[in-house]
Homo-oligomer: A and B are copies of this chain.
Amino acid sequence: MTAAEHLLCQIRPHVGAIAATPQAMAQEWRSIAPDQQQQLTLAPCAATTPARTRSTAKMLPRFDPGVMETYLDDMREMKARVHELFRQHPDLLPNVEEGLSKEEHRALVRRSLKVILQAGYSPLDLLARDPRKYFYLGECLSMVDLSLMVKSGVQYSLWGGSVLNLGSEAHRRRYFDDIAQFRLPGCFAMTELKHGSNVAALQTEAVLDVLTDEWVVHTPDEGAIKWWIGNAAEDGRAATVFARLKVPDPNGGSKLVDHGVHAFVVPLRDESGNLLPGVEIRDCGYKVGLNGIDNGAIRFTHVRVPRGNLLDRFASVDKSGRYSSPLTSQARRFAATLGELTGGRVGLTAGSVGVLKGAVTIAVRYAALRQQFGPPDSPEVAVLDYQSTQVRLMPLVATAYGLHFAKCLLVEKYVDMKRTREPKLVEEAALSTCREVCGGHGYAAVNRLGALRSDHDIFQTFEGDNTVLLQQVSAMLLKEYRQQFSGAPLTATYHYLRAALLGALPNNPLVTHDTEPRHLRDPAFLSKALEYRTARMLFTLSLRLRKHGPRLGAFHAWNKCLSHVLDLANAYVESVVYKGAPVVGSLHLT
Contact = CB atoms under 8 A, between A and B. Distances in A.
A306 interface: no
A99 B98 contact: no
B563 A391 contact: yes
A225 B33 CA distance: 12
A230 to B, nearest CB: 15
A353 interface: no
A206 to B, nearest CB: 22
B32 A380 contact: no
A463 interface: no
Interface in A548-568: 553-556, 559-563, 566
Nearest to A282: B32
A82 interface: no
A373 B454 CA distance: 28
Given A386-B562, A454-B288, A201 B43 contact: no
A498 interface: no
Interface stretch (A52-60, A192-200, A240-248, A413-421): A192-200
A27 to B, nearest CB: 12
A555 B43 contact: no
Nearest to A554: B375
B223 A98 contact: no
A79 interface: no
A277 interface: no
A195 B383 CA distance: 12
A472 to B, nearest CB: 12
Interface string A353-384: 00000000000000000011111100011000
Interface in A443-486: 450-451, 453-454, 467-468
Copies of this protein, total: 2
Nearest to A286: B98
Contact of A43 (B223, B374, B450): B223
A44 B222 CA distance: 10
Identify whether the interface residues of A are mostly helix, strand, loop, or mixed. Answer: mixed
Interface in A39-71: 39-40, 43-44, 47
A233 to B, nearest CB: 9
Given A36-B222, A196-B372, A285-B98, A388 B562 contact: yes
B32 A283 contact: yes
A101 interface: yes
A43 B193 contact: yes
Given A297-B33, A387-B559, A373 B198 contact: yes
A284 interface: yes
Interface in A146-201: 193-198, 201
Which of A43, A388, A560 has the most B CB atoms < 10 Å from its CB? Answer: A388
Given A223-B43, A450-B288, A451-B288, A376 B560 contact: no
Contacts of A385: 559
B450 A285 contact: no
Contacts of A222: 36, 39-40, 43
Interface residues of A, number: 62
Given A387-B559, A563-B388, A40 B193 contact: yes
A76 to B, nearest CB: 31
Given A285-B32, A297-B32, A223 B47 contact: yes
A101 B197 CA distance: 35
A345 to B, nearest CB: 19
Nearest to A283: B32
A30 interface: yes
A430 to B, nearest CB: 19
A87 interface: no
A6 interface: no
B387 A560 contact: yes
A579 interface: no
Contacts of A102: 99
Interface in A263-297: 282-288, 291, 297
A213 to B, nearest CB: 33
Contact of A194 (B43, B375, B561): B43
B44 A194 contact: yes
Interface string A93-109: 00000110110000000
Nearest to A375: B555
Contacts of A282: 32-33
Nearest to A471: B388
Given A33-B282, A375-B553, A566 B297 contact: no
Given A99-B101, A99-B291, A196-B372, 14 more contacts: A32-B282, A40-B225, A43-B223, A44-B193, A98-B285, A99-B102, A194-B371, A197-B373, A287-B450, A288-B451, A374-B555, A375-B553, A387-B561, A387-B563
Interface of A: 30, 32-33, 36, 39-40, 43-44, 47, 98-99, 101-102, 193-198, 201, 222-223, 225, 282-288, 291, 297, 371-376, 380-381, 385-389, 391, 450-451, 453-454, 467-468, 553-556, 559-563, 566
In order of increasing CB-CB distance, the 8 nearest A-B pairs are A98-B286, A387-B562, A375-B555, A288-B450, A99-B101, A32-B282, A388-B562, A198-B372
